[in-house]
């Protein structure tokens, strides 16, 4: 018995002091910190939510709101669109019943909390309205201005945009202090992260209300600043683009994606492009390129794929083929489609180089996000990347991992790739400073709700 206890104690000691244990404890603490109110203002009560745009995102948001006990009304231009949004919401409730997460009667009552229509009105008692229409600035500005005239003065307006500027939209509003971004990730019912995007004029009360609502919906809220791609998509941009550059150099789709999944990502970057939608990823790439210039210039294979008309999983064909909604291997016609955008002869790139280039691209952009104030702390970056992209929790988060490597080592590796791959690997000034001063991201950008870095 004594020997067994000794072995158990030794094993427990090794486990508790391991890097993985420390990383997961860090994730627990930053997750708990995200529950705390980010501002001192008192949140407004929300019991009725409006959703403009009844597509997949709009229907998903409506279902989530109704699932959590609130009334919701969807609106779109066409009856067929509204019907599609209602069908999508019902399919999610049906799935919840099949998986025994809800009773059938409970699901029917929740579905009854969703209404929809095409005519103006119906938002007269709304506490918050979420806009989820097409990613075109003028369309969103017009919709938001129209809705602002229908709702009570206490009602908050939010946009679900993933790329467009909250401040640019706010210019169309009479009450910009009551407007902010509420960026849900697709699929809404599965992805835990919500980015609360604070514009220049957004009030503390609006932020507090959005934070409380996100928590009520069972989501993990992270407050971010306004800027192209906000936090998660801004950091993902160079990661996905680097995968395109690796593809152009002759690396295979399989090798690129395997390097990421072996690191711990839930799927590889090229598979992720398919999952997001090639059309949506292409649009995001254009926005980031326009904002940040040459270092975000889309890789040729990604451009070629974007021009092909393929949409990824939702259309059955992208980098991979999809049969009955399931991935069925890399498309054999991909090489011919990409043509001159990649080397005709595949080159065996070391998996260590593939992985390093993908992860370093994200670390470098994360440093820029912190420098620009898009993220308030290193912990916010870690949490957003874990909850929004599936960055491996056992590594503690992107910047926790960078701190373990040490910024000085990260800069040294960046310099090596800068010499061979060019300016997109120029280290961010913050990285250079931390490396020179023997600093860490967690110490330089602490989270106010954490007692220690």
CA-based Rg of the chain, rounded to a whole angstrom?
A: 23
What pLDDT shows up at residue 425?
Answer: 96
Residue 192 pLDDT > 90: yes
What pLDDT shows up at residue 450?
Answer: 84
Residue 76 pLDDT > 80: yes
Catalytic residue among 88, 183, 211, 447: 183
What pLDDT shows up at residue 111?
Answer: 97
What pLDDT shows up at residue 5?
Answer: 61
Section 225-251 average pLDDT: 96
**C-beta separation of 143 from 171 below 8 A:** no
What pLDDT shows up at residue 361?
Answer: 98
Query: Which pLDDT tens digit goes with each residue over 193-211?
Result: 999 999 999 999 999 999 9
Q: What is the mean pLDDT of the chain?
A: 93
Q: Do domains 48-225 and 231-442 have the same CATH topology?
A: no
Which class for 176: exposed (0-12), middle (13-18), buried (19 or more C-beta within 10 A)? buried
Section 373-399 average pLDDT: 97
For the chain, what are the domain ranges?
48-225, 231-442
Query: Which pLDDT tens digit goes with each residue over 7-33?
Result: 666 666 666 668 899 999 999 999 999
Query: Which pLDDT tens digit goes with each residue over 425-443?
Result: 999 999 999 999 999 999 9
Q: What is the dihedral of CA 392, 397, 400, 404, to 10 degrees?
A: 10
Residue 271 pLDDT > 90: yes
Residue 452 pLDDT > 50: no
Query: Which pLDDT tens digit goes with each residue over 323-373?
Result: 988 999 999 999 888 887 776 556 678 999 999 999 999 999 999 999 999
What pLDDT shows up at residue 16?
Answer: 65
Tokens matching residue 235: 């950091």
What pLDDT shows up at residue 9?
Answer: 60
Q: What share of the chain is helix, strand, coil (3-state, %, to 5)?
A: 55, 10, 35
What pLDDT shows up at residue 167?
Answer: 97
Residue 80 pLDDT > 90: yes
What pLDDT shows up at residue 349?
Answer: 87
Q: Which residues contact 301 (CB under 8 A, 6 or more apart)?
A: 244, 247, 248, 338, 341, 342
Assigned fold of 48-225: Rossmann fold (3.40.50)
179-184: strand order across its sheet: 114-117, 71-75, 48-52, 128-131, 156-159, 179-184, 193-198, 220-225
Query: How many angstroms separate the CA atoms of 139 and 239, rounded?
Result: 30
Give the model's confidence band at 453: pLDDT under 50 very low, under 70 low, under 90 confident, else very high. very low
**In the annotation, is 447 catalytic?**
no
Section 290-301 average pLDDT: 93
Q: Which residues contact 418 (CB under 8 A, 6 or more apart)?
A: 425, 426, 427
DSSP for 193-251?
A: EEEEEE-TT--HHHHHHHHHHHHHTT-EEEEEE-STTTTHHHHHHHHHHHHHHHHHTT-
Query: Which pLDDT tens digit goes with each residue over 178-191?
Result: 999 999 998 999 99
Answer whether CATH 3.60.21.10 is correct for domain 231-442.
no
């Amino acid at each position: 018995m004594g020997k067994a206890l000794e072995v158990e104690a030794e094993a427990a000691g090794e486990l508790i002091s391991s890097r993985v244990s420390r990383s997961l404890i860090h994730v627990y603490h930053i997750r708990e910190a995200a529950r705390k109110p980010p501002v001192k203002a008192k949140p407004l009560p929300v019991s009725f939510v409006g959703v403009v745009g009844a597509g997949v995102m709009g229907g998903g948001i409506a279902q989530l709101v109704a699932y959590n006990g609130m009334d919701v009304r969807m609106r779109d231009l066409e009856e067929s669109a509204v019907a599609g949004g209602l069908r999508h919401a019902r399919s999610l409730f049906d799935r919840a019943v099949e998986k025994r997460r809800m009773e059938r009667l409970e699901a029917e009552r929740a579905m009854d909390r969703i209404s929809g229509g095409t005519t103006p009105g119906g938002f007269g008692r709304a506490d918050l309205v979420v806009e989820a229409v097409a990613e075109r600035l003028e369309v969103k500005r017009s919709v938001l201005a129209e809705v602002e005239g229908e709702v009570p003065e206490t009602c908050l307006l939010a946009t679900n945009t993933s790329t467009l500027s909250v401040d640019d939209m706010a210019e169309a509003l009479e009450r910009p202090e009551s407007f902010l971004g509420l960026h849900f990730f697709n699929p809404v019912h599965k992805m835990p992260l919500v980015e609360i995007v604070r514009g220049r004029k957004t009030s503390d009360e609006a932020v507090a209300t959005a934070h409380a609502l996100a928590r009520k919906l069972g989501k993990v809220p992270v407050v971010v600043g306004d800027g192209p791609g906000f936090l998660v998509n801004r950091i993902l941009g160079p990661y996905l683009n680097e995968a395109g550059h690796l593809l152009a150099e002759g690396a295979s789709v399989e090798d690129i994606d395997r390097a990421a999944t072996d690191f711990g990502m839930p799927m590889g970057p090229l598979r992720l492009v398919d999952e997001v939608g090639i059309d949506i990823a292409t649009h995001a790439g254009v926005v980031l390129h326009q904002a940040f210039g040459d270092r975000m210039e889309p890789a040729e294979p990604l451009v070629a794929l974007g021009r092909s008309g393929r949409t990824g999983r939702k259309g059955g064909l992208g980098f991979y083929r999809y049969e009955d909604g399931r991935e069925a291997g890399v498309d054999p016609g991909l090489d011919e489609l990409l043509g001159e955008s990649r080397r005709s002869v595949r080159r065996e790139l070391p998996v260590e180089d593939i992985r390093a280039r993908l992860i370093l691209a994200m670390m470098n952009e994360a440093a820029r996000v912190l420098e620009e104030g898009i993220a308030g702390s290193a912990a916010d970056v870690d949490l957003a990347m874990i909850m929004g992209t599936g960055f491996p929790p056992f590594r503690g988060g992107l910047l926790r991992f960078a701190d373990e490597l040490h910024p000085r080592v990260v800069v040294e590796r960046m310099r090596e790739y800068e010499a061979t791959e060019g300016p997109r690997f120029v280290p961010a000034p913050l990285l250079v400073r931390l490396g020179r001063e023997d600093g860490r991201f967690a110490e330089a950008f602490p989270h106010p709700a954490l007692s220690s870095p």
